[in-house]
Structure 1
Amino acid sequence: MSTTLQTEQRLWQELAARGAVQGECPEHSHAPWAVRCLMGAAGWLGALFFQMFLVGTVFVAARENGVAMAVTGLAMIALAALLYWRGGGIAASQFALAVSLCGQGMAVYGWVEALGFTRVTETAGFWAGIAVFEAALALLVTNRLHRLLSGLGVWIGVAGAVHLALPHGSADDWQALAWSLGWLAPLGCALATGFTLAEARVCAAGRHALLEPLADATLLAALAMALVVTGMSHPMAWLFDPEAGRLSMAHWIAGALLTLVLAGFALTECRRLAAGSAMQAAVLAGTLAFGALMAAAPAVVAGALALALALRRASMAWMGLGVAAIAIGFVWYYSALHWTLLAKSVTLAAAGVLLLAGRYWLLHGRTGKEFA
C-alpha cells in the first residue's frame, strides 16, 4: 500500500472516530504519473489536430476579417468552457486547455486586426482590455490550471498598461520595463501576502477555489517581475542620460517597497504568535536590515518573502518558487556587470552574517528559548 493511501485511510479513521464520517473509506485509485503524462499528451495532440484544421480554415477563409477571427476565438473558448463543465479525464481537460489558449490567441489577434495592429497595441487601453478579458475568463472557467494561466494573463495585461501609461522618457523603451515593473512587483507580493493572511476567512467564505490559483499566479508574476528589475536596473544610468535618472532608481524603489511588505508580514506573524515586544522589535530590525542590504537585488527580498509565505501556508509550490527566486536573484545580482565586485561581495556577505546571527540569537537567546 502506498504512503498516500495509508495517509488517506488514517485520516478517514480519525474522522470516523470523531463522528464526522461513517462507513468504510472510499477507494480512490491514483493513476501512475506516466499514465497521466500520456493522457495529457493525448489531449494536446488531439487539440493540435483539431486546431490545425479549424485555425487553418478560418485563416484561409477570413485572413483579412478580424471580426470573424475574434468570433471564432470566442467560440473556441466557449467550447473549452463546456468541456470543463461536463468534466472528464486528464485528456479531456488538457484538450479543453489547449483549445481555450488557442481561442484566446485568435480572439485577441482578431480584435487587433480589426482595430489596426500598430495603433492599438501601443496604447495602455489595449493592455488593460487584455487584463479585463483574462479576469473574466478566470471567473467564468472553473478549472484550476486555466485560472492560473488566466491570472498570469491578467498580470501581463496590467504590466503592459502600466508600462505604457507611466512616463519614462527613455530612448530604449524596453529598458524602461525596470521602472514599470519596479512598482508592480511589490504590489503583487503585497496581494499574495494579503491572501495568505486572509486564507482562513477565504475558505470560510467558500472562495478558496477561485482565489488560490489567482494567488499562485500573482506570486509567480511578482517574482518574475522582481527578477527582471534585478537584472535590468542600471544604477549609473543617470550619468549618461539625465532623463533616465528615475529609471536608475527602479531597483532601489522596488527593494524598499518589498522590504516594507516583508517587514509587515514578519510583524504580523509575531503578533499572531503572541511574541513579546522585545522579540517583535528584534525581528522587525533584522528584517529591515536584511532588506536594506539586499535592496539592490529585489528578487532576493521577494524570494525571502515567498519562503515566509510558504511556511505560513505549508505550501511546497510556493517554497519552490521562493528558493528559485533567491537562487536566480543571487546569481543575476552577482553576475551583473554594472555593479562592482566589492559592492556585491560586501552586501552578500553582510546579509549572510546577519541571517546567521539572527538564527543564533533565536536558537540560543533568552527570547528564542520561549519558542523552542
Structure 2
Amino acid sequence: MTTELQTGQRLWQDLAARGEVQGERPDHTHTPWAVRCLMGAAGWLGALFFQLFLVGTVFVAARENGIAMAVTGLAMIALAALLYWRGGGIAAGQFALAVSLSGQGMAVFGLVEALGFTRVTESAGFWAGLALFEAALALLVPNRLHRLLCAVGAWIGLAGAMHLVLAGSEPDDWLLLTWSLGWLVPLGCALVTGFTLAEARLCAAGRHTLLEPLADATLLFTLAVALVVTGMSHPLAWLGGPEAGRIPLAHWVAGGLATVVLAGFALAECRRLALSPALQGAVLAGVAAFGALMAAAPAVVAGVLALGLALRRASMPWLGLGIASIAVGFIWYYSALHWTLLAKSATLAVAGALLLAGRYRLLRTRTGKEAA
C-alpha cells in the first residue's frame, strides 16, 4: 500500500471514529498520466477531423458571409457546452474544449467580418463586448480549463477596451500599451489577494470551484502584463511629446499601486498570525521600502505578492508563477538599456540588503520567542 493510500485510509478512519462518515472507504482509481495524455490527444484529433469536415461543408460556403460564420461559431460553442454539461471522459472533455475554442474564434471573426475589420477593432465597445462574452462563457460552462482560458480571454478584451479609452487620439501607438496596461496590474493584484483572503469563506459557501480557475487566470494575466510594463517602460519617453509623457509614468503607477496591495496583504497576514504591533510596523516598513525600490519593475513587486499568496494557499502553480515573474522581471529590468548600470546595480543591491535585514529581524524575533 502506497503512502497516499495509507494517508487516505487513516483520514477515513478518523472521520468514521467521529461519526462523520459511515461504511467502507470508497475506492478512487487514478488514471495513469500516459493514458490521460493519449485520451486528450484522441479528443483533439477527433475535434480536428470534425472541424475539417465543418470547413469543407460550411466554412467554405460561408467564407464571404460573416453572419453565417458567427452563427456557426455560436452553434459550436453550444455543442461544446452540451458535451461539458453531459459529462464524459478525458477525450470528450478535450474534444469539447477544442470545439469551443474554434467556435469562439469563428464567432468573433464572423462578427468582425460582417461589421468591418477596422471599424470594429478600433472600437472600445467591441473589446468590452468580447470581455463580457468570454466572462459569460467562463461562468456558464462547467469545466476548469475552459473557465481559465475564457477568463484570460475576458482579461484580454478588457485590456483592449482600456487601451482604446486611455490611449486617446493615438490608439496605434503600441508604446502607450504600457500606460493602459499599467492600471490592470494593481487591479489584478487586488483581485487575487481578495480571493486568497476570502478563500475559506468561498469554500464554505460552495463557490470555490467556480472562482478558483478565474483567480488562476487573473494571476497569470496580471504577471504577464506586469512583465510587459516592466520591459516597455522608458524613463525618458516624455521627451517625445505630451502623449508619450504618460509612458514613463506607467511602471511607477503599476509598481506603486501593486506595492499598496502587497502592504495590505502583509498587514492582513500579520494580524492573522497575531504579531506584535512593533513587528507589524517593521514588516510594513520593509514592504514599503522594497516596493519603493522596485517600483520601476512592477513584475518583481507582483511576483513577490504572488509568492506570498502561493505560500498562504500552499499552491505550487502560484509559487512557480511568482518565482518565474521575479526572475524574469529582475533579468528584464537589469538588461534594459534605457536604465543606467549604476541605477540598476544600486537598486538591486539595496533591495537585496533590505531582504536580508528583514530575514535577520524575523529570525531574531523567532529565536527570542523560543527562548522565552
TM-score class normalised by the smaller sequence: over 0.9
The alignment's C-alpha RMSD in Å is: 1.7
Q: Is the 8 A contact 2:237 2:247 kept in 1?
A: yes
The 1:371–1:21 alpha-carbon spacing in structure 2 relative to 1, beyond 3 Å, is farther
- Deviations 1:176-221 (CA, angstroms, capped at 9, x unpaired): 1110110001100100001111111211221111111101111111
TM-score, length-scaled by structure 2: 0.96
Residue 67 in structure 1 maps to residue 61 in structure 2:
no
Unmatched segments (≥5 aa) in structure 1? none
Q: Is the 8 A contact 2:74 2:107 kept in 1?
A: yes
Which residue does the alignment assign to 2:160? Answer: 160
**Segment drifting more, 49-58 vs 358-367:** 358-367
CA distance, structure 1, for counterparts of residue 343 and residue 365 of structure 2: 31
Q: Is the 8 A contact 1:251 1:296 kept in 2?
A: yes
The 1:83–1:39 alpha-carbon spacing in structure 2 relative to 1, beyond 3 Å, is same
CA distance, structure 2, for counterparts of residue 66 and residue 113 of structure 1: 5
SS at match of 1:246: helix
Which residue does the alignment assign to 2:55? Answer: 55
Q: Is the 8 A contact 1:184 1:222 kept in 2?
A: yes
Matched to 1:74, the amino acid is L
CA distance, structure 1, for counterparts of residue 35 and residue 366 of structure 2: 54
Q: Is the 8 A contact 2:138 2:150 kept in 1?
A: yes
Q: Is the 8 A contact 2:167 2:176 kept in 1?
A: no
Which residue does the alignment assign to 2:102? Answer: 102
CA distance, structure 1, for counterparts of residue 237 and residue 103 of structure 2: 42
CA distance, structure 1, for counterparts of residue 164 and residue 314 of structure 2: 38
SS at match of 1:245: helix
CA distance, structure 2, for counterparts of residue 169 and residue 351 of structure 1: 39
Which residue does the alignment assign to 2:318? Answer: 318
Q: Is the 8 A contact 2:167 2:180 kept in 1?
A: no
TM-score, length-scaled by structure 1: 0.96
Give identity over the alignment, percent.
80
Unmatched segments (≥5 aa) in structure 2? none
Which residue does the alignment assign to 2:11? Answer: 11
Matched to 1:86, the amino acid is R
CA distance, structure 2, for counterparts of residue 138 and residue 366 of structure 1: 44
CA distance, structure 2, for counterparts of residue 245 and residue 341 of structure 1: 23
Matched to 2:25, the amino acid is C
Aligned counterparts, 1:34-45, within 5 A? 34-45=34-45
Which residue does the alignment assign to 2:213? Answer: 213
Deviation at 1:120, TM superposition (A): 0.5
Matched to 1:202, the amino acid is L
- Deviations 1:57-104 (CA, angstroms, capped at 9, x unpaired): 222111111111111111111111111111111111001000000000
- Deviations 1:288-309 (CA, angstroms, capped at 9, x unpaired): 0000111110000000000111
CA distance, structure 1, for counterparts of residue 115 and residue 155 of structure 2: 23
Q: Is the 8 A contact 1:127 1:157 kept in 2?
A: yes
Q: Aligned residues, how many?
A: 372
Which residue does the alignment assign to 1:77? Answer: 77
- Deviations 1:134-182 (CA, angstroms, capped at 9, x unpaired): 1110111011111111110110000000000113555861111110110
